[in-house]
Amino acid sequence: MMVENLLIYGKKITARGFSVVEVVLVMGVLAVFSSGAVVVVLGGLSANRAGIEETTATQYNSEGIEAARSIRNRSFTDLINSSGTGVTRSAGVWVFSGTNNNFDKYQRTLSISEVRRDESGNIVEGGGTVDPNTKKVTAITSWQVSAARQKSTSLSTYLTNWQEPLGGLPNPGGILVYGDGGTTSDIIRYKVLDGLAGTWSGALPTADVDSSTANRALRAARVYASPTRQEKILLSRHYDGSGQYIYGQVFNGTNWGNVILLSSWQSSSFLDVRNFDGTYLANGDFLAFYSDNSSLPKYRAWNGSSWSAEYSVQNVGGVPNYLTARARPGTNEVMLSSFDQGSDTNTQYFTGGSYATSNWTLHPEHSPLAPTNTKEHFSFVWSPNNPLVGALVYSDDNRDKNLNIRIWTADGAGGGNWSSSANASGQVGRLGTMALAGRLKAEEFIACDQDDVGNPNIVCYQSDFTPSWSDPVNQTVSSGGDRGLQRSFDLEYEASSAAEAIIVYSDRTSVPKLKKYLASTSTWDGTETSLNALSGNLKTVELVSQEGSDEIMILLADESLNLYSLVWDGTSNGPYLTPSGKAFTLHSSNGSAPEDYWYSFTWDRFR
């Protein structure tokens, strides 16, 4: 045994050396602990790698589902049952191709299968009957983790034939709501359009928004139809001479109820705006968005049985005069657009997650200026041809004469990106109220605005997804239109053939005018079509296209506060003369103000 003498701090220390056995034991202990640390480190690296790989695979699945949805949008009949298929881009659109898709070490396979429902309409795995208008699409992405181990992840969704007439009927119906108390009473009435018989029901009252008073007159209304249950929701804004109120209520197919006061404030300003909107999500929830006269818009969710607590989106920096909410087709994601009292145009996007402010992303401001803060100087819609793409038109200067557009492309995972802006060709007067429509079967939007010259012009443009503007033939649809802050025109595409769009507008007379837009040649009619004469000059117009059909509801309100309806027949390319419910009909003569949208209509969506 070896002994060493050490001199430490002047003291002699004697230390015994280590024996061979002790050295071996120490080395063994070190080896055990070292190998454990290596295992921990390698395990962490392996877990991190597995997480990255699973995220990548999930993104491939999302892309596959979105591709199938795009194919469905063009033709539901292309969703043929298959145990395994791939997709590819051909001529700018998605098509099914092959049996799978390979991306480096990942392989994705899409399967398409039939859906069965029980007597209550619920989806069941076995039994029931086959739903011919619904398909289940599943994307499975697999990859090799190691030579001896494979992993996979999947994502499924249900795609419906939204172009098929609802309920198996050739003509789905709808519901019309309108104020019937002038400026002194809060009476709201509704009528039901029987699509099969083509007749209107009698006028009945909705729920009383506040039983303690009767003077909260309706100033603006919007009604929505659920695609998943027999339900309609009405949002309405009221004024009693000093305060403003926004309410929501629910129609279960028989009765109105579940009335909720969403917000209220004391103000006699901005009475003719629409500072609320709503949208149904793919999960069946309805989100009601509204202003409370602050720069922080609020919203509540209706889940089919109750209203949620109040939530906030991101602060937009000004009090909204107009709000537009549009759920991305087939998802829980939402684009919320706002135009505020400071003339700012903003958008923000909901990821589709929990109803928390953190799941809203406020985008950089599109514009801090517009010719006025009272007109609807913006519009946003999703493309019916590609559910990943939406368009925003807006003004970006207080003397702007060039319509601006930006394209939003969703990433399929709760986010997306805006394109750069593109300016349309200039027009004579400053930009006014705007309307926008997307075309099925093409990467195309049409937009129109009414300028502010002494005899206002309605000027229309066409844009692709780039975005890039072009000027249609006969793009100045009208000269000598109605002045005022209201939108005295509206436009819509036929939702099935997408061959034509129509615009209905005021030329400051009691006879509404209509022109058609032929998509194949990008041409507006050179000669206008006169519709039925009203009791006074036409003031406001609203068009509502019917999903899966070429029919379009036309609503008209005149300066005498009368409300009329008429349905466009896209098959014969003219307004219906019969049956009575689709022909020209007078509904009410007691609206609130010529500048207000004190009425609204929605087609049935529930099958």
Displacement of CA 62 from its chain's centroid (Å) = 19
127 dihedral zone (left: phi>0; alpha: psi -120 to 50; beta): left
- Which secondary-structure segment (H or E) carries 341? none
CA distance 70 to 443: 12
CB atoms within 10 A of CB 67: 24
**Residue 168 confidence (pLDDT):** 45
Do residues 315 and 295 touch, judged by C-beta distance below 8 A? yes
Identify the burial level of 560 via C-beta atoms within 10 angstroms of its C-beta, where 0-12 means exposed, 13-18 middle and 19 or more buried: middle
The closest alpha carbon to 281, from 359, 212, 218, 363, belongs to: 359
288 dihedral zone (left: phi>0; alpha: psi -120 to 50; beta): beta
Do residues 332 and 323 touch, judged by C-beta distance below 8 A? no
- Which neighbouring-strand residues pair with 7? 12
For residue 85, give Cα distances in angstroms to 75, 98, 142.
17, 6, 14
**Residue 6 confidence (pLDDT):** 45
**Residue 42 confidence (pLDDT):** 52
- If you ran DSSP here, which 8-state letter would residue 117 be given? E
**Residue 23 confidence (pLDDT):** 54
What 3-state DSSP class applies to 34?
Answer: helix
Residues 6+ apart with CB under 8 A from 274: 220, 222, 237, 322, 323, 376, 597
CA distance 590 to 256: 21
Identify the burial level of 489 via C-beta atoms within 10 angstroms of its C-beta, where 0-12 means exposed, 13-18 middle and 19 or more buried: buried
CA distance 486 to 375: 7
Do residues 429 and 401 touch, judged by C-beta distance below 8 A? yes
Residues 6+ apart with CB under 8 A from 123: 115, 116, 117, 131, 134, 158
CA distance 281 to 429: 39
CA distance 221 to 248: 10
For residue 200, give Cα distances in angstroms to 171, 192, 327.
13, 6, 30
**Identity (one letter) of the amino acid at 409?**
T
Residues 6+ apart with CB under 8 A from 55: none
CA distance 132 to 112: 13
- If you ran DSSP here, which 8-state letter would residue 328 be given? P
E runs forming strands in 296-415:
298-302, 311-312, 320-327, 334-340, 345-350, 360-362, 378-382, 389-394, 404-410
CA distance 6 to 26: 23
CA distance 345 to 563: 31
Tell me the two tokens of residue 39: 């295992």
What 3-state DSSP class applies to 69?
Answer: helix
Q: Angle CA(105)–CA(107)–CA(112) in degrees, nearest 5?
A: 170
- Residue whose entry in the numeric block shows the structure tokens 């039983």: 211
The closest alpha carbon to 382, from 391, 394, 373, 374, belongs to: 391
CA distance 174 to 162: 16
- Which neighbouring-strand residues pair with 290? 276, 298
CA distance 509 to 482: 9
Kindly report, residue by residue over 125-145, the tens digit of the pLDDT.
877 777 788 899 999 999 988
- Which neighbouring-strand residues pair with 115? 131
Running along the chain, 607 residues long, what does each successive block of 10 average in pLDDT?
45 52 58 53 61 90 91 84 91 87 94 82 78 89 88 90 54 92 95 93 96 95 95 98 97 96 97 97 97 98 97 98 97 97 97 97 97 96 96 96 97 96 95 96 95 93 97 95 89 94 97 97 97 97 94 97 97 94 96 96 91
**Residue 169 confidence (pLDDT):** 44
The closest alpha carbon to 298, from 261, 273, 333, belongs to: 261
For the chain, what is the radius of gyration of the CA atoms? 30
DSSP tally for the chain: helices H, then strands E: 1, 46
**Identity (one letter) of the amino acid at 576?**
Y
